[in-house]
Amino acid sequence: MTTHLQLLEPSLTDSFESAFRRFFSPTRFAPEAQALDMRLDVSEKDNAFLVKADIPGVRKEDINVRIDGNVVQIDAEVKHEKETKGEGEGGKVLRSERYYGTVSPTFSLGHDVDEAKADAKYVDGVLTLELPRKASAAAKRLTVH
């Protein structure tokens, strides 16, 4: 019988009891300080591509979409500032947390996009792009002389 268990950190030589205590020790949890992440869904319908990007916490003024043929790039920048003020035992307590981050995924589609007809909407942290396909030029037949 084969097991597929591995130690998380093989250099640990502590006893099980001290490892258990370390596991439940207090840790800092700050979800605001995580790197900006963008999740994309790309689907195809009739003569257009539909892109949905989850970018919570970003203002629509900080989103830039670029289209070059069949290549699409979405740039997003988040600026997060949080300030907590209060009175402590030893005087005034001030805590400030700031986070700035950018993300710029680039992807290519199966056909060129008609930039003039493309549409972008940003509602409740979700960017929705409707990217119509560019009409392909009909093949031209040359007469051989």
What pLDDT, in 10s, does the model give residues 16-38?
666 666 666 555 544 444 556 78
* Cα 114 to Cα 67: distance, rounded to the nearest angstrom: 9
Which option is the CATH number for 35-132: 3.40.30.10, 3.30.70.1140, 3.40.1260.10, 2.60.40.790? 2.60.40.790
Q: What is the DSSP code (8-state) at residue 89?
A: T
Does the pLDDT value for residue 113 go beyond 90?
A: yes
- What is the distance in angstroms between the CA of the first residue and the CA of the last residue of the chain? 77
pLDDT bin (cut points 50, 70, 90) of residue 3 is very low
- pLDDT confidence of residue 5: 45
- Hey, how many other C-beta atoms are within 10 angstroms of the C-beta on 48? 18
Q: Of 102 and 142, which is predicted with more confidence? A: 102
pLDDT bin (cut points 50, 70, 90) of residue 126 is very high
What predicted TM-score, i.e. pTM, was given to this entire model? 0.62
Query: How does pLDDT run across 83-97, given as a tens digit for each residue?
Result: 666 665 555 656 656
Query: How does pLDDT run across 36-60, given as a tens digit for each residue?
Result: 678 999 999 889 999 999 998 889 9
- pLDDT confidence of residue 6: 44
Q: Of 67 and 20, which is predicted with more confidence? A: 67
Domains of the chain, residue spans: 35-132
Does the pLDDT value for residue 108 go beyond 50?
A: yes
* Cα 33 to Cα 31: distance, rounded to the nearest angstrom: 5
Strand-strand pairing, 63-68 and 71-88 = antiparallel
